[in-house]
Amino acid sequence: MLNFWWRPIATLSMLFVLVLGLFAIFGATVALIVLFAGLLGYLWFHLKNLAALGHWLENPKQAQLPDGIGLWNDIFYHLQRFQNRQNKDQVELSEVLDRFQTAAQAMPDGIVMLNSADQIIWCNLISGAHFGLDVERDHGQFIRYLIRQAQFTDYLNAHNYSEPLVIKSPINRDITLAVQLVPYGHNQKLLISRDITQLERIDAMRRDFVANVSHELRTPLTVVGGFLETFADSDNLAPEALHSYLGLMREQTQRMQRLIEDLLTLSRLENAQSAPHEEQVDVAALARSLLEDARSLSGGKHEIELAIETEVALRGAYDELRSALGNLISNAVRYTPAGGKVTLRWEKKGNEAVFSVEDTGEGIEAQHLPRLTERFYRVDRSRSRETGGTGLGLAIVKHVLTRHQARLEVASELGKGSRFSVWFPSHRIIEGDAPSAQ
């Protein structure tokens, strides 16, 4: 403070000393004229610097800070230092904001910054995919006007953001979002959105899986339980009836056993962390063995043929491949009416090897094809159970093929039959051609 006052006090003191000297020499008139002129000049000096300061304050970023003398030099010097610090802070703040926005753009979640009035300050690109927002177009817009859903409006007004809200995307009803508001700063909020569509599908599949397993087990258990009650209530049961009942009980227990075995197989494949134990698999010999199984399952009701057009072997897990290919063949036999034809084919096409199973059954409608490998998915539930299938065969096929980097292609025409083709990549093939047919 003393450093500020000494200059104006010194200047005014020198002026008064001068006036007193002039008063002593020239009299009061000259002294008053000089005093008035000095004070006027002193006032003009400060007004001039104040005008320069005012001009600079109007646009401090564009105008250059003026030069000053004496006290004003100190003032302008400190203002210059303050401006430099402020510019440095703004640069650092801009860099921090740029880093935040870059990080927010890289996040897989949608992020929308809202002010205290719930207006959009900024949003990342993912929020555009979730809500159709655009940072330039929608800046300053009220979020409640852009996400017009009663659930979201109630959530926004409730001010209880401890749990996320699950809603459908306003621009794509096939996308399910979990949104949550996170308060920060002075009544500001972050709206965070996450695509949980796949999680919802998995949860739905889990619920369906539990319901289907329960249903599949309930029917045979009911049958077996009913017969056991009959045995308990009957003192004299005819041998023919007893033989029939025992046969039906055996069929139902075998059905439960197949279901449990397929469930265990599927569980083992889904939980397998390591690659399959690989060996050289003679697919031609495996196909001949599966042909005999198919003819046994058919009981002479179908015409079943095998065409071996290549003798190439595969590098893979024998038991897994037998299970996968066997499921395709047994499905073809089960779903082909008596008198129909099933053709098995092992061939090489280009750099890939193909095992195909073609039947003359009823065929499958196009809308069912994408879901065939889902657990317990059935095109015709009643007919599927009559054939003795568990509903898990194609799910097992999918997991085995994934572990062998193979793919399944399905071609089907309603009323004309289906063809299931398994394509094995070149790195799985062990060469050695010697075509034969059976």
Query: Can you give the residue ranges of every domain in the chain?
Result: 2-95, 107-195, 207-271, 279-437
- Note down pLDDT in tens along the chain; length 438 residues: 456 667 777 777 887 888 788 778 888 888 888 888 888 888 888 888 888 777 777 777 666 777 777 777 777 777 878 877 887 888 887 787 778 778 888 888 999 999 999 999 999 999 999 999 998 899 999 999 999 999 999 999 888 898 899 999 999 988 999 999 999 888 899 999 999 998 888 777 777 767 777 766 777 788 788 878 877 777 777 777 777 878 888 877 877 777 787 777 777 776 666 667 789 999 999 999 999 999 998 889 999 999 999 999 999 999 889 989 998 999 899 889 999 999 999 999 999 999 999 999 888 888 888 888 877 776 665 544 555 566 777 888 898 898 899 999 999 988 889 999 999 999 999 986 444 434
As a whole number of angstroms, the distance between CA 25 and CA 13 comes to 19
**Measured between alpha carbons, how far apart are the two ends of the chain, in Å?**
110
Q: What is the CATH number of domain 279-437?
A: 3.30.565.10
Beta strand pairing call for 429-430 and 110-114: unpaired
Contact 18, 38 (CB under 8 A): yes
Residue 373 CA to residue 378 CA, distance in Å, equals 10
Main-chain phi, psi angles of 142, to 5 degrees:
-75, 130
Name the residue type at position 243. Answer: H
Fold (CATH) for 207-271: Helix Hairpins (1.10.287)
| CATH superfamily, with its number, for domain 107-195 | PAS domain (3.30.450.20)
Amino acid at 433: D
Q: Write the CB contacts of 392 (distance below 8 Å, at least 6 apart in sequence).
A: 259, 262, 263, 265, 266, 375, 376
